[in-house]
Structure 1
């Protein structure tokens, strides 16, 4: 059976449909109920083909996608920041759709998606699964970067191998209609969540856009047109009222939300004082399962070492990128730098960090409420330094005796960066920083560690043991955790174990295009230095300054070419990508 034609009642542009019209929303849900029956009968081969058509449709919409996202965020079309909208927009959806198609095709052939993968081990009786590089193309394009998925302790390799594929092992057993409450900051998040619901969880999907992303409706309708035509996806607009109605609709079987913990709690427990009382009593208003990605306060652990002047400047730009990418409106934006008070180069690094915050090109404070959150942070820390042309970037140096609780427990979701000093060097400092990140900071979505290769080597197994003790869903070692977000095969979500009444950074994973069952975390590694300095210092890494750095001088062309490569991979297209990247 194939699904290629829209239902007779289907609209040409679903994103333009409805706001709080309950009859209209009911009609959309009814269409999806019909689509679920057809989806249950669709063969794996036809599902793989459908994902291939999605890949082609995303490629066709990519230019409009990046331009519309840039318009929403107030970017000058000539700005290098437009590159962010290519790299965090169509690019990961192209790679995600392509790898999901590959995964389903493997199941068609009665193979595990992980067949041929060489498993490894990690401390605590953990099996690891390498997911980057996954192809020869990735090995060249992202030379020097790697990622592995760590499984929970005691899960054997044979179990990981046989369970990969999730709900696609039993495609006829569909799981109803899933509601995706879309993110309002990164444009790839809603489509990636849709694909995961559909394939990994075998649910047809109703996507409600965040009002901030209303203009993306027509782009999503075009990019996901094959799913809409197959009646397995509908896209609607609307605010909080529409979202609440849909979340509690009896025909919706599951809810997935990307947003804030406060919004999550309103969905689960209801608004206002009554909602807070329900949460305190642990009596949720929502009567169905919910998964979530809710952000948090991400740490950036700087392991002290003997760095060159170029190292200090480069890693300061790295930290600035973790905070200022997308204007600071990322769930995984680094918010707390954990620095050694005993590091001899501490002052030099902080001076370079101030300089990086100053020279990063200015951005419009485009996300609603940003100025208020910056003001809130400044009120809590009156001595905060203002940086940037408008002074809208805050650097808060927490000194001995200062109350760090506000910046440790508030996700400011704005260009606010804090510095907290801890004593010690080497493994002693790293262990103290890991304990602080685990015990003092809100959330467990992503943690970053920056350390020189010699310092990592000197700790021997102790460094890997420290990673095992760091309870975050994605850990970046000399690579921003955003690389994990962009890696199609890497699961993305909070560290497992949060409860409904204390969701922290959320529950469940998305992306995960190899459909690995019940992962624990992803560990991403990158080169400490860019090429050619990496070679000069003994690192075998060909990757130049990353195009996602906020100081990149060629981000726009690199992002466009990288997305073009993901749309149509080929060795002959690779030199142009490298040519742009090396101009960063």
Structure 2
């Protein structure tokens, strides 16, 4: 991870861009409480450094047990906090994006540390190959039989920076767990407010990738989950490896400037990052901030890593699609925008279509239907409604479909607001570029790289027949996409939820121009010098991929079989809530009968 600097508690959404309040706003009792938490974590660094890697595995297994025990309370509390009752069809999102993600991460970390404890390498048995441009490709998913079965058709690769050889990748794998007695001090995690797994996953990465004990400041939107977090993470709290605190910006400001905090990790927006690193951009301190930026003197004097979101493209490559293909991929796009009411840093926001595609109008019609027919849900994140109003002001002719907005732009329309503003709400735009085949794909990649704000994630939809026809040109186009996560016939959120992949911006962010962030998280194989992760999924669900593969035998190399009809994370899945809960319960405690029942529900999606 690249390091850099910061102070203040940024929430996970773009609207919260307050200047940092003075720490003096805190009372003496509050400052003393925070100091005691940092002191406990300072002592915890000695405890952590004294543990062997094998003992750390034992501790992680205890954490896994307590997370599994808290899973139902976690998912139900999270759903209720977002206005989803026990009958809402989308309540399954909180199972997958909460306890399921954390349990999967714990399983993957346990496997990595277990290998290290017995003197093996985290990459033993993991296939490595070469990727374009002198890169090494780590085939990081699936690595277990159950993942190959349940998530058949999905694969994931971690691409390392150009010049990193397979031998160098193996030599560095393990990060701080290769030197467990070297403490990284105390880290501060300023937690995201939108997805409940994020703060916990960030804490685990601080502990395992960097040997840092962690002080987690929970975003106020997740205050209701603090008791659940404390139960789930009790095995880390008891020995002083973790402390959890609530509080607003004043608490964040005090902690980021605390002399015994060695590092800060935040999830938020670039504007929040800038306010934290350099100071307020408005008000009495703005002049000093401008001077510091001009002179290259950040206000925060300690390293920082960050995940800051952006405007994510969905590139739709022209092909010959059936009506069922059009409907399925339209529902896919709707999911990318509407999951969690659009309050996701990785929500797809700009669909890039070919104006020369003969099926462009049919796809637009299918997208309108899918977008309108998705279940309604509360827009719950602070400031989201105001951002939607700003989108409406920018695009008064946009379609208002219940609780969501669809902006379809013509060649002469101004797309600058759509392409530079992370709306963090259910606002989806469609822009068109000329061309077909490789010419369109290359133009779309350039448009995404050069016009859309951020480098966090990009999505590409392409049928196997077209991918086969493009050949090496398709892989060349993927290589040209400057994004930290790329999903082909999948949503980049699949990369987020897959622990052996990495999550973060494309390398290159700096304190002065941070873009979508600095560094990566998740990364359960503990790989060094990561450039991006690439997810690939099935273009057609079960059973349609079978017939299409038989009709187009030359494209079988690109066609991917899957047992999933409609994935449970699709907003259109009729059984998504029950399947998501069932998959989480299976991840927690195994059990064949429960898994069979879950698979039967999945077939009715």
Query: Which of 371, 374, 388 is matched with 2:385 structurally?
Result: 371
Name the TM-score, length of structure 2 as normaliser.
0.92
**Residues 1:26 and 2:35 are matched in the alignment:** yes
Q: Which runs of 5+ in 2 are unaligned?
A: 1-26, 550-558
* Residue correspondence of structure 1 range 29-48 to structure 2 within 5 A: 29-48=38-57
2:154 & 2:75 partners in 1: Cα distance? 25
Residues 37-84 of structure 1, C-alpha deviations (whole Å, 9 max, x = no match)? 111111111101111111111100000000110111001211121100
Query: How many angstroms does 1:174 deviate by?
Result: 0.7
Query: How many angstroms does 1:426 deviate by?
Result: 0.7
1:86 & 1:471 partners in 2: Cα distance? 31
Query: What residue in structure 1 maps to residue 604 of structure 2?
Result: 583
Query: How many angstroms does 1:143 deviate by?
Result: 0.5
1:277 & 1:570 partners in 2: Cα distance? 61
Query: Which of 370, 383, 387 is matched with 1:356 structurally?
Result: 370
1:339 & 1:283 partners in 2: Cα distance? 43
2:29 & 2:131 partners in 1: Cα distance? 50
* Residue correspondence of structure 1 range 57-456 to structure 2 within 5 A: 57-271=66-280, 272=282, 273=286, 274-388=288-402, 392-456=403-467
**Residues 1:552 and 2:552 are matched in the alignment:** no
Query: How many angstroms does 1:574 deviate by?
Result: 3.2
Distance verdict in 2 for CA 1:366–1:20, change over 3 Å: farther
Query: What residue in structure 2 maps to residue 541 of structure 1?
Result: 562
1:565 & 1:129 partners in 2: Cα distance? 27
3-state DSSP of counterpart to 1:62: helix
Name the TM-score, length of structure 1 as normaliser.
0.95
3-state DSSP of counterpart to 1:418: strand
Q: Is 267-276 or 30-39 further displaced after alignment?
A: 267-276
1:499 & 1:401 partners in 2: Cα distance? 35
Q: Is 377-386 or 268-277 further displaced after alignment?
A: 268-277
Q: Which runs of at least 4 in structure 1 moved beyond 6 Å after TM superposition?
A: none
1:115 & 1:309 partners in 2: Cα distance? 44
1:559 & 1:362 partners in 2: Cα distance? 19
Residues 182-209 of structure 1, C-alpha deviations (whole Å, 9 max, x = no match)? 0000000000000000011110000000
Query: How many angstroms does 1:282 deviate by?
Result: 2.8
Query: How many angstroms does 1:276 deviate by?
Result: 4.6
Q: Indicate if the aligned counterparts of 1:20 and 1:242 stay in contact, CA closer than 8 A.
A: no
Distance verdict in 2 for CA 1:581–1:228, change over 3 Å: same
2:524 & 2:486 partners in 1: Cα distance? 18
Query: What residue in structure 1 maps to residue 10 of structure 2?
Result: none
3-state DSSP of counterpart to 1:395: strand
Q: Indicate if the aligned counterparts of 2:126 and 2:143 stay in contact, CA closer than 8 A.
A: no
Residues 446-471 of structure 1, C-alpha deviations (whole Å, 9 max, x = no match)? 00000000000001111011000001
2:579 & 2:295 partners in 1: Cα distance? 51
Q: Indicate if the aligned counterparts of 1:565 and 1:574 stay in contact, CA closer than 8 A.
A: yes
3-state DSSP of counterpart to 1:447: strand
1:504 & 1:28 partners in 2: Cα distance? 32
Q: Indicate if the aligned counterparts of 1:19 and 1:242 stay in contact, CA closer than 8 A.
A: no
Distance verdict in 2 for CA 1:316–1:336, change over 3 Å: same
Q: CA RMSD in A?
A: 1.3
1:168 & 1:571 partners in 2: Cα distance? 34
2:570 & 2:290 partners in 1: Cα distance? 40
1:227 & 1:560 partners in 2: Cα distance? 26
Distance verdict in 2 for CA 1:90–1:136, change over 3 Å: same
1:280 & 1:326 partners in 2: Cα distance? 39
Query: How many angstroms does 1:275 deviate by?
Result: 3.2
Q: Indicate if the aligned counterparts of 1:408 and 1:442 stay in contact, CA closer than 8 A.
A: yes
Query: How many angstroms does 1:268 deviate by?
Result: 0.8
Distance verdict in 2 for CA 1:209–1:276, change over 3 Å: farther
3-state DSSP of counterpart to 2:596: helix
Residues 390-448 of structure 1, C-alpha deviations (whole Å, 9 max, x = no match)? xx311112212222111111101011111110000111000000000100111111000
Q: Indicate if the aligned counterparts of 1:19 and 1:239 stay in contact, CA closer than 8 A.
A: no
3-state DSSP of counterpart to 1:560: helix
3-state DSSP of counterpart to 2:167: helix
Query: How many angstroms does 1:28 deviate by?
Result: 0.7
3-state DSSP of counterpart to 1:30: helix
Q: Indicate if the aligned counterparts of 1:535 and 1:541 stay in contact, CA closer than 8 A.
A: no
Q: Indicate if the aligned counterparts of 1:293 and 1:493 stay in contact, CA closer than 8 A.
A: yes
* Residue correspondence of structure 1 range 464-543 to structure 2 within 5 A: 464-538=475-549, 539=559, 540-543=561-564
Query: How many angstroms does 1:383 deviate by?
Result: 1.4
Q: Indicate if the aligned counterparts of 1:19 and 1:237 stay in contact, CA closer than 8 A.
A: no
Tell me how many residue pairs correspond in the alignment.
Answer: 564
3-state DSSP of counterpart to 2:258: coil
2:589 & 2:438 partners in 1: Cα distance? 45
2:291 & 2:576 partners in 1: Cα distance? 48
Residues 236-288 of structure 1, C-alpha deviations (whole Å, 9 max, x = no match)? 00001100110111100000001111211121112232435433443210000
Residues 123-147 of structure 1, C-alpha deviations (whole Å, 9 max, x = no match)? 1111111111110110001011000
